[in-house]
């Protein structure tokens, strides 16, 4: 077994089991084409390993905007910030325009479901971008695009707030699959929106830090009595490509390590299946069994026997918001 592959097999109690994986990689930062090639390679590797679902980190395509914190990102009318954003918007993914086509084809060829974080630009919304979590099925079809509801702190300087259109779950080998972006996972009602649709396989995507994943991953697993995959990425000085805009300044200002990984998998009892893994590019693989969900929901089922819909009820608006309603 490759030393950069970590595999865990669980007891086979039932027919409802699934092999899942997290691809913890460094993007070819701020380079859409280069990063897509790297992602495609990991999808193929996952398929060759018998994986049914492979997950990538928040904004991995084409990368998280680490420059904001270290280059005076809040300065108004900054030529530097305008230049960096213009490049970022250019390298963002136009999903309607077919930018994900090659990855969809790779997912189909590998027979693998893919969930990955991307920076999405919607031509109907100008040049603004969203942090989106895209779900591709094993037929190569894009099943869902979930735009991050609320960018966190300095992220609001480059990412637009999303909407509820992507708060959806999907059947996968006896599991119900859903996912959220980064600090959305701290939003009780966002989590509940997925629990209410039967989610029991939860994907949480992060830019990359053990401090983000080590506490909340087992908490969500225990609260939802679900399997939880937390996917993170890496970004080190050596991952800043020579063709990045303002490359000399970025190498001067950014720390040696912006993102150290921290990808991990927890079971529905809140215990680690794979604890947070830091500092290297790795494909983390685990076989999960739905019987464990049913066992843990014997005493607590968040939207089942332990809910009180007569007292507490959540309303979810899943309309895609475009900012205009046009009648001709």
Closest to 20 (Cα-Cα) out of 304, 308, 306, 287: 287
pTM, full prediction: 0.94
pLDDT at 9: 63
Query: Can you give the pLDDT at residue 1?
Result: 37
324 belongs to a structural domain: no
- Note if 18 is an active site residue: no
Please tell me the total count of domains within the chain.
1
- 82 pLDDT tier (thresholds 50, 70, 90): very high
260-296 pLDDT tens trace: 999 999 999 999 999 999 999 999 999 999 999 999 9
**Residue 325: predicted pLDDT:** 79
Dig out the tokens for 160 from the structure: 């637009």
Mean pLDDT of the chain: 94
Instruction: State in Å, rounded, how far the first CA of the chain is from the last one.
Output: 61
pLDDT-derived band at 125, boundaries 50, 70, 90: confident
Q: For 102-113, what is each residue's pLDDT tens digit?
A: 999 999 999 999
Residue 318 domain flag: no
Q: Which helix (H) or strand (E) holds 283?
A: strand 282-289
If one compares 203 and 15, the residue with the highest pLDDT of the two is 203
The span from the CA of 250 to the CA of 258, in Å, is 12
CB neighbour class for 309 (10 Å; exposed up to 12, middle 13-18, buried from 19): exposed
Cα distances (angstroms) measured from residue 296 to each of 217, 290, 305: 16, 10, 13
148 a catalytic residue: yes
- Domain assignment present for residue 184? The answer is yes
Question: Which range of residues forms the domain containing residue 19?
Answer: 5-296
Cβ 190 vs Cβ 204: under 8 Å: no
Is it the case that residue 307 has pLDDT exceeding 50? Answer: yes
pLDDT band at 166; cut points 50, 70, 90: very high
Residue recorded with tokens 């939207």? 303
> Is there a catalytic annotation at residue 182?
yes
Tell me what pLDDT residue 323 has: 78
Q: Which entry of 182, 184, 264, 287 is annotated as an active-site residue?
A: 182
| pLDDT (tens digit per residue) in 54-77 | 999 999 999 999 999 999 999 999
Q: How far apart are CA 10 and CA 301, in angstroms?
A: 22
Question: CA-CA distance, 303 to 233, in Å (whole number)?
Answer: 32
CATH number for the domain that contains residue 212 = 3.60.110.10
What pLDDT, on a 0 to 100 scale, did the predictor assign at position 13? 44
Please, what is the Cα angle at 101 between 96 and 104, to 5 degrees?
115
Q: Would 317 be classed as within a structural domain?
A: no
Residue pair 94/121 in contact (Cβ under 8 Å)? The answer is: yes
Phi, psi of 59 (to 5 degrees): 60, 20
Percent above pLDDT 70 for the chain: 96
Q: What pLDDT, on the 0 to 100 scale, is given for residue 2?
A: 44
Choice among 104, 120, 148, 287 that is catalytic: 148
pLDDT in tens, 90-103: 999 999 999 999 99
Q: Is residue 322 part of a domain?
A: no
Say which of 45, 58, 287, 296 is annotated catalytic.
Answer: 58
Supply the pLDDT for residue 6.
Answer: 64
Is position 103 within any domain? yes
* Domain presence at residue 9: yes
Question: Is 203 a member of any domain?
Answer: yes
321 pLDDT band, cuts 50/70/90, is: confident
């Amino acid at each position: 077994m490759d030393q950069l592959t970590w595999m865990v097999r669980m007891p086979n109690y039932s027919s409802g089991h699934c092999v899942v994986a997290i691809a913890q990689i460094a993007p070819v930062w701020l380079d859409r084409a280069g990063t897509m090639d790297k992602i495609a390679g990991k999808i193929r590797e996952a398929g060759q390993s018998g994986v049914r679902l492979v997950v990538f980190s928040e904004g991995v395509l084409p990368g998280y905007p680490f420059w904001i914190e270290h280059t005076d990102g809040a300065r108004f009318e900054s030529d530097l910030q305008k230049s960096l954003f213009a490049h970022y918007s250019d390298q963002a993914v136009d999903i309607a325009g077919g930018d994900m086509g090659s990855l969809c084809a790779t997912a189909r060829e590998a027979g693998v479901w893919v969930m990955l974080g991307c920076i999405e630009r919607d031509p109907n919304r100008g040049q603004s971008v969203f942090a989106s979590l895209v779900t591709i099925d094993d037929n190569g079809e894009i099943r869902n695009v979930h735009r991050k509801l609320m960018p966190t702190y300095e992220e609001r300087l480059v990412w637009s707030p999303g909407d509820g259109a992507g708060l959806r779950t999907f059947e996968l080998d006896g599991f119900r699959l859903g996912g959220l972006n980064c600090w959305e996972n701290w939003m009780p009602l966002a989590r509940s929106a997925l629990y209410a649709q039967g989610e029991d396989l939860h994907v949480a995507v992060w830019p990359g830090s053990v401090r983000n994943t080590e506490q909340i991953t087992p908490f969500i697993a225990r609260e939802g009595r679900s399997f939880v995959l937390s996917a993170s990425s890496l970004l080190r000085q050596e991952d800043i490509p020579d063709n990045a805009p303002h490359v000399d300044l970025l190498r001067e200002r950014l720390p040696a390590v912006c993102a150290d990984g921290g990808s991990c998998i927890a079971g529905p009892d809140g215990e680690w299946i794979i604890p947070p893994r830091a500092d290297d590019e790795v494909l983390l693989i685990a076989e999960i069994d739905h019987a464990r969900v049913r066992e843990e929901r014997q005493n607590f089922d968040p939207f089942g026997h332990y809910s009180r819909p007569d007292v507490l009820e959540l309303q979810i608006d899943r309309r895609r918001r475009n900012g205009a309603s046009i009648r001709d």
